[in-house]
Every structure is written in C-alpha cells, then in structure tokens.
Amino acid sequence: MPKPGMTTFAISRISDIPSCFALFITEEILELVLETTNLERHHKPGCRGWKEVDMPELKAFLGLLLLVGVYHSRREATQSLWEAQTGRPVFAATVSRERFEEISGRLRFNNRATRTHRCCKQGVFCPIVERWSEQLPCMWVPEQTLTVDEQLVPFKGCCSFRVYMPKKPGRYGLKMWLLCDSVTSLQRSQRGPKASRWCWAL
C-alpha cells in the first residue's frame, strides 16, 4: 500500500513555485485552453479582427488572475488595477487592460463545435476536469481516516445546477460532496450525488 502523503512523482518534480504550479495546471491543459480560445474566433463575428493568443501571453494572463487573488481584488473594478495612481504596476507592465479584457471575454475551455455531444451538465469544463482528475491522484495519497461531508461553494451566476440552501451562509451556490482527510485536512470533492468526476480541494 502506498505511503500516505505527497507522492514520489510529485516530490521529484517540484523545485520552485512554477514547477509546483505545473503539476496542477499541466502543459496539456494549457494547450487545450489555448487551442479552444483561439477557435472562438470562428464562432463569433466580433472575434474576426482579434490577435490570436500565444502560450506566453496565456500564462501571463493566468498569472494576473492569480495576482488578483493575492491582492484580494476580487471585487475591485478591472479598470482600477491598471490606473497609475491606485493600480498595481505589474498589471500595466504585463499587458494592456484592453487586451486583458479581450482575452477574458474570449477564454474557452472546450470546443464549441463538439459541446452538444457531451451529456453532463458541466460539459463546458469536461475536457479540463478529465485531465485534472487524471493528474491529481499521482500527487497525493490520503490517510486512512476519511469522512464524507457536503459543502456549498457560494455562486450567484447563471448555472443550471446552482442550488439554494437557506441554512448555509451563502445560500446560493454549487453543492459539493467532500471526501475529507482528517489528518491533513485535504478534501476530495464531487459535484452532486450523480457526478462522476473528482478533484482535490484544499
């Protein structure tokens, strides 16, 4: 039986922050996002004049999204992040605000042409979730002391499987079933009672 904790596979591949990030968001996943984002120009008339995204630009875009979380700017207006007086210099130095908003509006995670062939409700993200699910078990082995719990991830956007739970703090959101490791507090989550895809959540 494998020893609980981080796997040898993961330990041997982590040397710094970028290499750790690459274990979760692999080059295969990035290539998929890059390909499907650039394909979007064929489905929307307004995309015809836009410049295709390349891999360095996609990584820079994702890096800025992470910085939004680091700076606790989730509720801050996008424009303010680029302002000379109140913004963060790293945003303006990386990409223009117009280009950032353009990529944000075109970002896709699957091929629109094959979307109707997927029966699951989370079909838009299925290709990403499948690769994510294949990768995560290679990095962590849970302890033997596990328990099942449920969690509501707050979300008020448009989503066909959003639920309303009045006794939860957020009330509206996505219901997740969690397989919780009581020793490390690591959680393996599953969306809904009939979902078949799993992912790890800290």
What are the tens digits of pLDDT across the range 85-142? 888 899 999 999 999 998 998 888 877 776 655 555 556 677 787 888 788 888 888 8
pLDDT of 153 over the 90 cut: no
pLDDT of 165 over the 70 cut: yes
Phi/psi-derived region of residue 67, left when phi > 0, alpha when psi is between -120 and 50, beta in every other case: alpha
Residue 50 sits at the vertex; the CA angle it makes with 48 and 52, to the nearest 5 degrees, is: 110
In the structure, what pLDDT confidence band is assigned to residue 191 with cuts at 50, 70 and 90?
A: very low
pLDDT of 200 over the 50 cut: no
**Residue 18 CB coordination number (10 Å):** 10
pLDDT of 31 over the 90 cut: yes
How far apart CA 144 and CA 146 sit, in angstroms, is 6
In the structure, what pLDDT confidence band is assigned to residue 194 with cuts at 50, 70 and 90?
A: very low
How far apart CA 190 and CA 200 sit, in angstroms, is 9
In the structure, what pLDDT confidence band is assigned to residue 201 with cuts at 50, 70 and 90?
A: very low
Residue 160 sits at the vertex; the CA angle it makes with 155 and 162, to the nearest 5 degrees, is: 30
- Which of 32-46, 81-95, 161-175 has the largest mean confidence? 81-95
In the structure, what pLDDT confidence band is assigned to residue 63 with cuts at 50, 70 and 90?
A: very high
Contacts of 89 (CB under 8 A, 6+ apart): none
pLDDT of 198 over the 60 cut: no
The better pLDDT of the pair 125, 146 is held by 146
- Average model confidence (pLDDT) across the chain: 80
Instruction: Give me the pLDDT at residue 202, please.
Output: 36
- Which of 35-39, 55-59, 150-154 has the largest mean confidence? 55-59
The sign of the torsion formed by the CA atoms of 202, 143, 10, 175 equals negative
This prediction has a pTM of 0.73
How far apart CA 188 and CA 202 sit, in angstroms, is 8
